[in-house]
Amino acid sequence: MSALLTAPLAPVRVAVWVGELIRDEVDHELYDPTVIRRELQEVDEARAAGRIDAATADERQRELLSRLIRPAE
């Protein structure tokens, strides 16, 4: 009986579940130290190759480091 009553909510539950999966993946990509280190390396390489200037590299490095040391939630 309860399955019949809650069946109309199934699409909402699936949407919430998918949303949580997406959020978790975004958080992983945004705050994973391995990903951040790789991006810092890419900034260093771009700066050394002359693809970006020092100011842009410094700004990007600050952004990445702030993600790395974000306060615990």
36 in Cβ contact with 68 (< 8 Å): yes
pLDDT band at 68 (very low <50, low <70, confident <90, very high): confident
The secondary structure of residue 7, as a DSSP letter, is: G
Of 61, 59, 56, the C-alpha closest to 37 is: 61
Rg (CA), the chain: 20
The model's pLDDT over 6-56, given as tens digits with 9 standing for 90+, comes to 777 778 888 999 999 999 999 888 889 999 999 999 999 999 999 999 999
pLDDT score at 1: 66
pTM: 0.66
pLDDT score at 19: 94
